[in-house]
A and B are shown apart, each in its own frame.
Chain A
Amino acid sequence: MKVSPDYYDEIFSFRGEWDMPSTCGLKIRRCGGRTYVIVTELYQDNPGTSVTYAGKSLAGQICLAKGLDMEEITYVECNPDTNSKLSFYDEEYFQVDFSADLQHRYRQMDRTEIESMLKG
């Protein structure tokens, strides 16, 4: 379940749940006046907390490291394709709204939105 480097520009190290050393893929794109912070789960190459579980804490750590304002970014989680036969390892992108409750925090993005965001 190796994640293709095409999914990220850099590997971002962060403090996960209970300060566990953790990593994710990171891309930052500017598109239509918005800044998209795209974090990608690295599965076997992430020794700690998943990007979903780290959630707002991870977003905060990225903003701090990159000099971004949490209020100004559009935060996106990517579940990368890993060439697995299992459907739950297919590619998916979710826009995350940390102000919503846990159940309504995630909105799956469609292909057009994803392509437009990644073009930057």
Chain B
Amino acid sequence: MNTFKLKLIYPKWQKLKGQTTFNLPPHGPVAFAATLPEWVDVTFTDENVEAIDFDEQCDGVALSMMLSTQVKRGWEIADEYHRRGKLVLAGGISTMLHAEEMVNHVDSVFLGESEGRMEQVMLDWTRGELKKLYNFMGNLPPIESVGPCRRDLYKRDLYNHKGVQMVDLFHASRGCRFSCYPCAVSYLGGRCFRPRPIDKVVEDMAGIENNRLFIVDNSLAQNKEWEKELFRAIAPLKKKWISHTIEDDPEVLDLAAKAGAWYVYQAVYDTSDYIKERVKRYHDYGIGVEGTILLGLDNQSVDDCKRLIDFLGEIDLDLAEFTVLTPFPHTKVYDDLLRQGRIFDFDWNHYNAGQVVFQPKKMTPEQLQDVYEYAWKNFYKDESQEQKMFRLFCNVALREMEEGTYRPRDRRLANRSFGKDVVRYIKKN
């Protein structure tokens, strides 16, 4: 079989203004790349950290897209390659969410998970028989077939901020048994939790050079026994990791802490004592908390939002991330707001969870936008996001030093941030 040279691209998107930008090495493209047959020679460009070389020789182009804010840029890239006579295949989460439009912009759309499917797709391509649609929605591959990602494709220096390597993303499971109001996961992967076999997780994780990870599973709190087994099994690896919610159970939290839990994302949806205690319990086990706060739900007025924002000051969060409710396609919130005629903006570039695209129930869109901006400013008024992140970073570095796993930052890259020179604003006397 002749080698097929595939250029894999992760399109850029407009970052939210006023927020610290950290570019993490994306997971989807390298998970996809791992499913390609050996005779495909793949190169990877993450347009968020480097420009696309459209003149680089290749036999075809694949776009991997996760966010709604990537799809329009993906179409521009496809247009450019079409002008150069190249065929373009698209896949990933936002390809699935926007598939009806995607088919009009690329030569082939892949829907579903790619494990076990790419040999046939690539054979079709080399024979000039690439299909318009490869539809594996609702036909999930066995979770055992999920193997290690092609992390060798990352240009590591581009995911480095002042000498500090960004975390690697990692999946211990796929799918989710919950179907939360603003989330499309149940559409994408069925409403079922699919944990990877623990031995595979350990083998995969042990093979990652980076000792800091982000376990990006939708929620680890889905199967308590699997969760406990997972934490026991990965503890000897001495990795430090970030994750979404962990089960609110003393034994699980203890095991998570011993397994290297660094900090978790925890939804803060009301001002109850339960939330306060939940955050405290994480802290009791030495686990940091980044609160995720969704603004613009139908039961929230401006005053409700402000009360929630003020409440954050009482619960000692390490970090907070604010988003406005966004009706992504294939979510219940999309269906509801569409039926009620409340979506006024269908420009996918605005679906960044920081821009209001719908009519809220108890306030105007402008008021919601103001509340969102107030939330970021208010939470970070005394200490910036970067300063708070630095504190979390110091916590993990100290723990690593105690365990002998700390790696000093790369001095060679001390003046570089995501591939660019660091601009330092030093006042002249």
Which residues of A are in contact with B by a Cβ distance under 8 Å? Answer: 1, 17-21, 41, 43-44, 47-53, 77, 79, 86-88, 92, 94, 102-106, 108
Contact = CB atoms under 8 A, between A and B. Distances in A.
A103 B187 CA distance: 23
Given A1-B179, A53-B330, A103 B137 contact: no
A77 B332 CA distance: 13
B190 A47 contact: yes
Contacts of B336: 79, 88
Q: Is the interface of A mostly helix, strand, loop or mixed?
A: mixed
Contact of A19 (B135, B298, B341): B135
Contacts of B329: 53
Contacts, number: 67
Contact of B333 (A51, A53, A88): A88
B138 A21 contact: yes
Contact of A53 (B135, B299, B335): B335
Given A49-B187, A53-B335, A87-B299, A106 B137 contact: no
Q: What 7 pairs between A and B have smallest CB-CB spacing?
A: A52-B335, A106-B339, A20-B138, A18-B137, A94-B339, A18-B135, A20-B137
B243 to A, nearest CB: 25
A64 B181 CA distance: 32
A87 B298 contact: yes
Contacts of B340: 106, 108
Contact of A77 (B111, B191, B333, B339): B339
Nearest to A41: B335
B99 interface: yes
Contacts of B123: none
B153 interface: no
A18 B99 contact: yes
B341 A50 contact: no
Contacts of B138: 18-21, 47-48
A8 B339 CA distance: 21
A52 B187 contact: no
Nearest to A43: B179
A86 to B, nearest CB: 7
Contacts of A48: 138, 187
Contacts of A94: 339
Nearest to B100: A17
Contact of B191 (A44, A52, A102, A103): A44
Contacts of B179: 1, 43-44
B135 A88 contact: no
A43 B191 CA distance: 10
Nearest to B330: A53
15 contacts: A1-B179, A17-B99, A19-B137, A44-B191, A47-B190, A49-B330, A50-B335, A52-B338, A53-B334, A86-B181, A87-B298, A88-B181, A92-B339, A105-B338, A108-B339
